[in-house]
Amino acid sequence: MPARNHKQWMADPNLPQGEWVDSRIYSDPEIYEEELEKIFKKTWIPVCHESELSEPYDFRTTTIAHEPIVITRGPDNTVRAFLNVCPHRGMMIERRPSGSFLEGQPSGNPKRMTCMFHAWQFDMKGNCVYISREKEGYQDRICKEDTGLRRLRCEVAMGGFVWVCLDDKPESSLEEWAGKPFECIRESIDAEPLEVFHYHKAIINTNYKLWHDTNSEFYHDFMHYHNRVTGFNDEYFARKNIGFEHGHVNVTSFEVNYDEYEGFESREELSFPKFPPNQWFMIDLFPGMNFNLRGSALRCDIMTPLGPNKVMIEFRGLGVKSDSAKDRQTRIDHHNSIWGPFGRNLHEDLIGVTGQGATMKNSTEPRRILHGRHEDNYIHDEIGLRHYYDEWGKWMNRLPSDPMQEYKAPAVAAE
């Protein structure tokens, strides 16, 4: 078709419902806030890795759906999560990204979370253990026993990630939620304790779902010179996308020919425990996390949506805790060459999604975004995107292709 006039451009594509979405799902401020309430406050979110708080009294802070959270490791070695909010007058209790409560703070004692404002103190289980001048001010009307922190559902699982759910009664247990899609790499990531060796973040102007889309489709390998030369072979085109309950997706493995890229070597010599060399599995978890085990390194992306057109992506790289210095360096090099902030692919992926963000800002004309590639679920089939958006539609009770309408199932189910 030649270039289109406005009416033609705005017309629905010649694809069935469920095979395209309306860009307002990426740009509408109301939809964004609703997603935080209906999805991010209801589902299991991985927030960090247990190796980031490896010793008793270590802590890590994070945010889900605007809510500040503190994760602690108790003297009993249990990892717990609390709202990082003081029950007195709402001060953020711990302000640093990580550290240890073993040392006392200017306002409080060692082994306590202390709110610096008026020196209320809490133990690693979230009990309030000290209110300054308690009796003098509150007599017997309010006491420590009434002013514990807000505890949150928290589990350490799937390779030692710390998962939090803001809902006290989540629809599924973490195992029911994520167990199936993790099966493909579970043996490898649970064989031994892992350790995070890489962390950096991007805050970019795009919708979080667009990053998830990029992580869920391999068609964009055309953008990556590296992947075109190391990947495009018969085995690559035999990779399948598999949808799971709850909107999660796996991309199955194949053998990557790293030596096809000048300057790179095969990664045969180092893998993960019980993981065949040069293999590569992807897990895309609803609503926006990605786990990527590629030969010697595990990558995890965690997204924190910051607005309809703004997201923070935290990038982590992981190896095996017992790595020798040499093996660790090899994992780091492998990780960085493709996925580091100065690596070959990540930069290209981030340019891609910010380019989408720029054309789909709120108040631009709604665009039709096509998810209609069918290739028997093989690698360039957009089944992963269709599967995700069908789930999204159910949680939001909105139709992805016309988000002001109520959800209805696509004519042909995404599965």
Partner 1 sequence: MSANGNGTAEAVKDTIYRSCLLLDEEKWGEWLDLCDDGFKYSIKAWSPEINYDMTYFSADHNHLTTMTEQLPKHNTDHSPLKRHSTVYAVDVDKDGKTATAITSLVVYQNMLDGENSHLDSGENHLFLVGKYLDKLKIENGKAKFLEREVRIETRRLDKGSHWPI
Residues that bind partner 1 (CB under 8 A): 49, 51-52, 54, 60, 96-99, 196-205, 223-226, 262-263, 316, 329, 332-333, 336, 340-344, 346-348, 350-351, 354-355, 357-358
For residue 209, CA distances in Å to 201, 233, 266, 311, 366 come to 17, 29, 33, 9, 16
Q: Cβ of residue 127: shortest distance to ligand FES, in angstroms?
A: 15
Checking DSSP bridges between strand 20-22 and strand 289-294, what pairing results, if any? unpaired
Inter-residue contact 389 to 371 (CB < 8 Å)? yes
CB within 8 A of 222, min separation 6: which ones?
A: 228
Closest by CA to 78, choosing from 29, 28, 123, is 123
The tokens for 9 are: 């451009």
d(CA 333, CA 221): 21
d(CA 372, CA 390): 13
Q: Cβ of residue 57: shortest distance to partner 1, in angstroms?
A: 13
Q: Cβ of residue 51: shortest distance to partner 1, in angstroms?
A: 8
Site residues (vs Fe ion, CB under 5 A): 349
86 is an interface residue for ligand FES by CB under 6 A: yes
CB of 10 or CB of 358, closer to partner 1: 358
d(CA 382, CA 120): 52
Task: Kindly indicate which of the ranges 41-49, 110-118, 248-256, 366-374 contains the residues binding ligand FES, using the contact rule CB under 6 A.
Answer: 110-118
> CA-based diameter of the chain, in Å?
80
Q: Cβ of residue 165: shortest distance to partner 1, in angstroms?
A: 22
Classify residue 235 by its DSSP letter: H
Residue with token string 């996308």: 241
Q: Cβ of residue 138: shortest distance to ligand FES, in angstroms?
A: 13
Closest by CA to 196, choosing from 50, 61, 94, 58, is 50
For residue 66, CA distances in Å to 63, 94, 251 come to 6, 16, 31
Closest by CA to 85, choosing from 99, 103, 66, 100, is 66
Binding footprint of ligand FES, residue count (CB under 6 A): 8
CB of 21 or CB of 115, closer to ligand FES: 115
Task: Kindly indicate which of the ranges 53-61, 114-122, 184-192, 293-301 contains the residues binding ligand FES, using the contact rule CB under 6 A.
Answer: 114-122
CB of 123 or CB of 301, closer to Fe ion: 301
Adjacent-strand bridge partners of 42: none
Q: Cβ of residue 109: shortest distance to ligand FES, in angstroms?
A: 14
Q: Cβ of residue 304: shortest distance to partner 1, in angstroms?
A: 13
Binding partner selected for residue 88 from ligand FES, Fe ion, partner 1, none, CB under the kind-specific 5 to 8 Å limit: ligand FES
The tokens for 51 are: 């190796």
Q: For residue 47, what is the enclosing H or E element? A: strand 45-49
186 is an interface residue for ligand FES by CB under 6 A: no
Binding partner selected for residue 143 from ligand FES, Fe ion, partner 1, none, CB under the kind-specific 5 to 8 Å limit: none
Binding partner selected for residue 225 from ligand FES, partner 1, Fe ion, none, CB under the kind-specific 5 to 8 Å limit: partner 1
- List 15, 65, 91, 129, residue binding ligand FES (CB under 6 A): 91
Residues 53-66, buried b or exposed e (16+ Cβ, 10 A)? beebbbbbbbebbe
115 is an interface residue for ligand FES by CB under 6 A: yes
Q: Cβ of residue 92: shortest distance to ligand FES, in angstroms?
A: 9
Binding partner selected for residue 198 from Fe ion, partner 1, ligand FES, none, CB under the kind-specific 5 to 8 Å limit: partner 1
d(CA 104, CA 114): 9
Task: Kindly indicate which of the ranges 83-91, 160-168, 176-184, 191-199 contains the residues binding ligand FES, using the contact rule CB under 6 A.
Answer: 83-91
Determine the 3-state secondary structure of 383 from DSSP: helix
120 is an interface residue for ligand FES by CB under 6 A: yes
CB of 147 or CB of 266, closer to ligand FES: 147
Q: Cβ of residue 257: shortest distance to partner 1, in angstroms?
A: 17
- List 117, 232, 237, 407, residue binding ligand FES (CB under 6 A): 117
Determine the 3-state secondary structure of 60 from DSSP: strand
Classify residue 299 by its DSSP letter: E
**Site residues (CB under 6 A) for ligand FES?**
86, 88-89, 91, 115, 117-118, 120
